[in-house]
């Protein structure tokens, strides 16, 4: 056997081995892709299943109230023919989440910028850990703290001053007006929500700020940018997809938060335009009424659940859309 | 050897477990009497060895379960109409009583310092009376120093038998309340803050200066809250006490009440508490499991005879003997054993 023949046979053999290995790898790949596909489709199936069971559960209420449910202010389950409407809980849900976001987003981003750009190195870790711990506190604890500490404090020392200060200013004296100031109000619930979602926003923002290539920031500093300019023109534009994602996650939590809010929102189906009045949210209404409800009342609560589902869906879809538009502009 | 002993032990455990399940009496329903039912069940087990399981899932859920016959008996704070019961082959009887009391959080005001009547209480809960120094409240309490504070109304956020009995009373004595709010387990409150459960209302009242709420007496006493006296239907001032609750049950005309369908609110009698609540047991006349039904009746019979002092310890009121006798003769005789 010549050297070249030997080489050819070796090559042939290694080709055969390779084919074998490739086949076995392809099988592995197929199994892997099937498993992951089943998992992914399983999630879709689950989503559809939840949606379907909500619709089935809510069907009696959908039949009874239809779309008018969305704009009816009354919630009167005691009548022989109950009149139930979702306007008050929808109003409460959107308002509390909105106020919470107004407070938590600037605050959370500010903390994140401080941590990544300005904070002395030895302090970074302790502050980060503290914020992550805040994110892990169960919501019922926030609710109890809001009920026993924050609510009474605001009602005695903060809110009366605000009400007094704006009493003669039109519009403001409706928003911040209150005949009765109690420990429990839409505003207090919003504040608790803000405290609850702040660590989410901060933790995600710190993580995404960390992905900015140092060379970008250094270049900006090199041409004489201030820290503010670097953050505004380099860090935030570079990370906005992650930021918006984090903020939307936080908004999702605010919309659906139940226990803490149920404690301090007052569970009252009223809309009077003041943020110092008691109110209710979709999840709080379901949590407090579900156990003792029946028939169309229960179906109406399921209908509320369906609405929350759709509301959250719309928020996430809007976030996606917004991101897509931002990307397009950045690409052009 | 070891394994076989384990298996044997497991089998014995499994067999004894199923045996215990078969003998069990199960009940579900109102949360208000749950503490006393559990206490009775505990003592009954010690005395006789028979177990009674009661789940406080709420009156409405209890009624659902007895309709579906998934439990031997149901507890409900709301008496049902005879027609409703007959259609479902059920009977009901009152088991134990309690009372609803208004509770207030005003500085310097202790238990029984204030007195209210149905008219003013209804006006407070329909949003007509807004401040503690309102003329109507001053007229009732000429000696008390009522503060110039807004009244913060606290009520239940969940459906509840307590709310049913409370609104039943207010609707009976206050026309305006009846029109504006009405009677129900969950109503459309024009004012106020909702707390979940009796303890939710008690907590909110404790936390909020100038607030008023309504809870079962036991919750007011356990939390050291200031309850008020009431003016009853005879125009007399009464304290929420054992005697005034019993007086309400004794004066109530059970003989006229079809199927014991009687709410104890606003009963006649000079010493009757106007917001007395009886809580009821529902059972089918023809049970799939006659043995369990008989065992349940045995338990209730024992509770009527021996449960009085235990009930009192928990601030519940046992039914008067006259009512017990009527339950035995008129209701239990109907249940197939």
Sequence spans of domains, chain B: 24-97+275-334, 99-251
Residue B337 pLDDT: 61
- Residue A292: which of B151, B185, B193 has the nearest Cβ? B185
B24-97+275-334 and B99-251 in the same fold: yes
- Which chain A residues contact residue B64 at CB under 8 A? 294
In this model, does residue A11 exceed pLDDT 80? no
Is the CB of residue A184 less than 8 Å away from at least one CB of chain B? yes
Measure in Å the smallest separation between the Cα of B57 and chain A Cα atoms.
8
Q: What is the 3-state secondary structure (H, E, C) of A243-293?
A: HHHHHHHHHHHHHHCCHHHHHHCCCCCCCCCCCCCCCCCHHHHHHHHCCCC
- ipTM topping 0.90: no
- Residue B84, Cβ neighbours under 10 Å: how many? 14
Interface of B with A (CB under 8 A): 57-61, 64, 130, 150-152, 157-160, 167, 182-189, 192-196, 203-204, 207-208, 211
Q: What percent of chain A has pLDDT over 90?
A: 45
pLDDT tens per residue, range B144-183: 889 998 999 999 988 888 999 999 999 999 999 999 999 9
Q: Which residues pair with B100 in a beta bridge?
A: B216
User: Residue A304, Cα to own-chain centre: how many angstroms?
Assistant: 18
CATH fit for domain B24-97+275-334, picks 3.40.190.10, 3.20.20.70, 3.30.365.10, 3.40.50.970: 3.40.190.10
The CA distance from A122 to A114, in Å, is 13
CATH fit for domain A71-331, picks 2.70.98.90, 3.90.1150.10, 1.10.3720.10, 3.10.28.10: 1.10.3720.10
Measure in Å the smallest separation between the Cα of A88 and chain B Cα atoms.
12
- Residue A182: which of B61, B183, B193 has the nearest Cβ? B193
What average pLDDT does the segment A115-136 reach? Answer: 88
- Which chain B residues contact residue A78 at CB under 8 A? 167, 182-188
Is the CB of residue A78 less than 8 Å away from at least one CB of chain B? yes
Does the distance separating the beta carbons of B182 and A288 come in below 8 Å? no
- Residue A179: which of B150, B158, B192 has the nearest Cβ? B150
Measure in Å the smallest separation between the Cα of A80 and chain B Cα atoms.
10
pLDDT tens per residue, range A139-192: 889 999 999 999 999 988 888 888 888 888 888 888 888 777 888 899 999 999
Is the CB of residue A247 less than 8 Å away from at least one CB of chain B? no
Residue A8 pLDDT: 74
What chain B residue is nearest to A74 in terms of C-alpha separation? Answer: B188
Q: Which two tokens stand for residue A7?
A: 């080489």
What chain B residue is nearest to A180 in terms of C-alpha separation? Answer: B150
Confidence of residue B22 (pLDDT cuts 50, 70, 90): very low
Does the distance separating the beta carbons of B57 and A291 come in below 8 Å? yes
Measure in Å the smallest separation between the Cα of B32 and chain A Cα atoms.
13
Residue B2 pLDDT: 52
Residue A331 pLDDT: 53
Does the distance separating the beta carbons of B196 and A78 come in below 8 Å? no
In this model, does residue A323 exceed pLDDT 80? no
- Residue A289: which of B130, B167, B186 has the nearest Cβ? B186
Does the distance separating the beta carbons of B193 and A184 come in below 8 Å? yes
Question: Based on the number of CB atoms within 10 Å of its own CB, is A256 exposed (0-12), middle (13-18) or buried (19 or more)?
Answer: middle
What average pLDDT does the segment B206-223 reach? Answer: 90
Is the CB of residue A278 less than 8 Å away from at least one CB of chain B? yes
SS3 A85: coil
Probe site for chain A from B157, B171, B209, B211 (most A CB atoms < 10 A):
B157
Q: How far is CA A9 from CA A17, A18, A22, A123, in A?
A: 12, 14, 20, 66
Taking one residue from A and the other from B, the number of pairs with CB-CB distance under 8 angstroms is 89
pLDDT tens per residue, range A30-75: 999 999 999 999 999 999 999 999 999 999 999 999 999 999 998 9
pLDDT tens per residue, range B75-120: 998 898 888 899 999 999 999 998 899 999 999 999 999 999 999 9
8 Å CB contact between B261 and B269: no
Does the distance separating the beta carbons of B186 and A78 come in below 8 Å? yes
In this model, does residue A101 exceed pLDDT 50? yes
Least confident of A177-181, A301-305, B190-194: A177-181
Interface of A with B in 281-320 (CB under 8 A): 287-289, 291-294, 297
Confidence of residue A114 (pLDDT cuts 50, 70, 90): very high
Is the CB of residue A227 less than 8 Å away from at least one CB of chain B? no
Residue B5 pLDDT: 54
What chain B residue is nearest to A155 in terms of C-alpha separation? Answer: B208
Measure in Å the smallest separation between the Cα of A167 and chain B Cα atoms.
17
The CA distance from A90 to A86, in Å, is 6
Handedness of CA A59, A65, A71, A72 (dihedral sign): negative
Q: Which two tokens stand for residue A153?
A: 């404090």
CATH fit for domain B99-251, picks 3.30.70.100, 3.40.50.1100, 3.40.190.10, 3.40.50.300: 3.40.190.10
């Amino acid at each position: 056997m010549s050297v070249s023949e030997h080489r050819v046979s070796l090559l042939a053999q290694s080709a055969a081995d390779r084919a074998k290995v490739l086949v076995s790898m392809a099988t592995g790949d197929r199994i892997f892709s099937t498993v992951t596909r089943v998992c992914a489709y399983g999630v879709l199936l689950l989503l559809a299943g939840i949606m379907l069971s909500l619709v089935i559960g809510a069907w009696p209420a959908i039949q009874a109230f239809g779309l008018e449910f969305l704009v009816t202010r009354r919630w009167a389950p005691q009548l022989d023919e109950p009149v139930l409407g979702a306007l008050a809980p929808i109003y409460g849900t959107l308002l509390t989440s909105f106020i919470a976001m107004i407070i938590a987003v600037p605050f959370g981003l500010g903390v994140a910028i401080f941590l990544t750009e300005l904070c002395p190195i030895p302090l970074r870790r302790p502050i980060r850990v503290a914020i992550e711990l805040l994110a892990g506190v169960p919501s019922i604890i926030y609710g109890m703290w809001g009920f026993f500490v924050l609510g009474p404090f605001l009602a005695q020392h903060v809110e009366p001053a605000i009400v007094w200060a704006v009493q003669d200013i039109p519009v403001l004296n409706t928003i911040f007006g209150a005949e009765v100031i109690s420990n429990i109000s839409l505003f207090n619930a919003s504040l608790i929500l803000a405290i609850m979602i702040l660590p989410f926003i901060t933790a995600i923002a710190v993580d995404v700020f960390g992905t900015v290539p140092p060379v970008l920031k250094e270049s900006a500093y090199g041409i004489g940018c201030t820290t503010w300019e670097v953050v505004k023109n380099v860090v935030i534009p570079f990370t906005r997809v992650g930021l918006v994602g984090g903020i939307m996650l936080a908004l999702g939590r605010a919309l659906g938060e139940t226990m803490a809010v149920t404690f301090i929102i007052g569970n009252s189906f009223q809309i009077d335009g003041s943020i110092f009045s008691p109110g209710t949210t979709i999840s709080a209404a379901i949590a407090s009424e579900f156990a003792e409800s029946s028939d169309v009342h229960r179906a109406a609560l399921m209908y509320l659940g369906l609405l929350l589902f759709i509301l959250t869906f719309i928020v996430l879809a809007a976030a996606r859309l917004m991101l897509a538009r931002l990307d397009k502009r950045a690409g052009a | 050897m070891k394994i076989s002993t384990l298996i044997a032990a497991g089998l014995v455990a499994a067999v004894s477990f199923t045996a215990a399940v078969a003998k069990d009496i199960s009940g579900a329903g109102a949360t208000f009497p749950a503490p006393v039912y559990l206490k009775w069940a505990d003592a009954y087990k010690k005395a006789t060895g028979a177990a009674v399981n009661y789940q406080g899932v709420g009156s409405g859920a209890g009624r659902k379960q007895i309709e579906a016959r998934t439990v031997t008996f149901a507890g409900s704070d709301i008496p049902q109409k005879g027609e409703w019961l007959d259609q479902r082959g059920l009977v009901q009887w009152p088991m134990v009583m309690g009372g609803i009391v208004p509770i207030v959080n005003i500085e310097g005001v202790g238990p029984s310092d204030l007195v209210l009547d149905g008219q003013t209480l209804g006006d407070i809960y329909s949003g007509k009376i807004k401040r503690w120094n309102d003329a109507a409240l001053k007229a009732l309490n000429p000696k008390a120093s009522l503060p110039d504070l807004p009244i913060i109304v606290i009520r239940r956020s969940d459906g509840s038998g307590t709310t049913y009995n409370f609104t039943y009373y207010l609707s009976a004595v206050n026309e305006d309340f009846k029109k504006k709010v009405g009677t129900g387990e969950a109503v459309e409150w024009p004012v106020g803050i909702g707390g979940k459960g009796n303890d939710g209302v008690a907590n909110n009242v404790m936390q909020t200066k100038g607030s008023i709420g309504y809870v079962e007496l036991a919750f007011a006493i356990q939390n050291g809250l200031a309850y008020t006296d009431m003016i009853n239907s005879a125009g007399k001032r009464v304290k929420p006490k054992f005697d005034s609750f019993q007086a309400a049950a004794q004066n109530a005309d059970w003989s006229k009440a079809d199927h014991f369908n009687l709410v104890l609110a606003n009963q006649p009698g000079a010493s009757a508490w106007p917001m007395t609540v009886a809580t009821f047991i529902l059972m089918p006349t023809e049970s799939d499991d006659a043995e369990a039904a008989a065992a349940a009746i045995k338990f209730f019979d024992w509770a009527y005879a021996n449960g009085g002092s235990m009930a009192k310890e928990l601030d519940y009121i046992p039914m008067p003997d006259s009512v017990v006798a009527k339950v035995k003769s008129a209701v239990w005789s109907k249940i197939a054993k």
